[in-house]
Every structure is written in structure tokens, then in C-alpha cells.
Amino acid sequence: MENNNPIKRICVFCGSNFGDRSTYKDAAKELGKALAARGIGLVYGGGGVGLMGVIAKTVMQEKGEVTGVIPKSLFAREIALREITELYEVASMHERKALMAQLSDAFIAMPGGYGTLDEFFEIVTWSQLGLHAKPIGILNVEGYFDLLLEFVDHVIRERFAKPEHGQLILRSDDPEDLLQTLIQRKSIQPTVKLIDWKES
């Protein structure tokens, strides 16, 4: 499917585990199908396990494009998924995050653990600092991120971040709605060149 919208590839941060609810897996499948249907490529951490594996395999099954980025040290732990469009092997987690960001036009966080939160907040911080203007969203499956979003509001109330920084995080519990919101935000945002991962 030809992609005529301003977003060609979206980076999805999500767990290398399935979590405790089947709805997390269902949401990963739904998001994968929605990406492929819109002709939007997936950029992700390159693993074949957990929600990472679900969304990547779903996009491939739906004839979409998948780009994985994985550090050599995690090839065995996350069981690198080789049956995808393109797989980058990098030397470190830092290079992984930077290259994923460089390859993507927008970002989505799904349920996950420390690694997902680390990736998500780094990309939010880069936006706050003006290093990029790419839209960022949370797919809030079953209210998974409710407490996190409350904490973000707390950070703003305590004046460790400005109110406008809270607007950097788009949110929805529906994959189609979130994708449309990201596309709309991308169409009105200025173009800011993301820091070159090779120089960072």
C-alpha cells in the first residue's frame, strides 16, 4: 500500500515479555495490522520475543515493512528476529536507541518494562530539548500508563517541566486513533533534524 502521509516509519517501544494480560498481545497485533494497512513501516528493537515479536511478526504477515535494531549482546537474550525486512546489528544500547530514532518519523510506547520506559523518556527528553520535532504517543492499553501519566502531571505541577512539555506526549487507548493523531501532529510540526546517531 502506498503511503502518502507524512509518516513513513514509526518506532514502537514495547516489552520483550507478554505481560499479564492477553489484551497487551491483542493490542500489539492490532497496532501491527494498522501500521501495515496504512503503509507505515515499523522500526523496533529487533527481538522476536514478547510484544516486540508479536508486533513485528504481525506487520510482516500483513505484508508490511519491519526494520529491527539490536545490540550484538542481546542477539541471544531477545532472540533476534531475522525474518524481517531489515535488521541492524549495533554495538550498544546507546547506538540502538539513536539509530531507531534516526530511522523513524514518529514514536509509540506500548506496555513494557524498564527498557521501554528508558527508550520512551529519552526520546521525549530529546523533543523537550529541541533535538527533534517528531510526534510521540502512548498506546495506553487497559490503562497501563495511567500512573505514569499522573506522575508526568505531578512533575509539571512541581515545576520540573513546563506545561507545554506535557503536550509532547499524545495518548490514546485505540491504535487507529493514536496513529491518526500522530499523523495530524506530524503534518503541522516544523522539521527539526534529529541528532546524527553516528555523531552522538
pLDDT tens digits, 59-103: 999 999 999 999 988 877 768 899 999 999 999 999 999 999 999
CA dihedral sign of residues 93, 94, 95, 96:
positive
The predicted pLDDT at position 188 comes to 72
What's the confidence (pLDDT) of residue 78?
67
Q: Which residues of the chain have pLDDT under 50?
A: 197, 199-200
Look at the pTM and tell me if it is higher than 0.75.
yes
Contacts of 58 (CB under 8 A, 6+ apart): 28, 29, 32, 33, 36
Closest CA to 179 of 17, 64, 84, 98: 64
Please name each of the domains of the chain with its CATH number: 9-90+107-140+156-188 (3.40.50.450)
Residue owning grid cell 549495533: 90
The answer to whether 65 and 162 are in contact (CB under 8 A) is: no
**In this predicted structure, what is the pLDDT of residue 180?**
96
Pairing type for strands 86-90 and 106-109 reads: unpaired
Residue 161's pLDDT is 94
Closest CA to 18 of 145, 112, 120, 147: 112
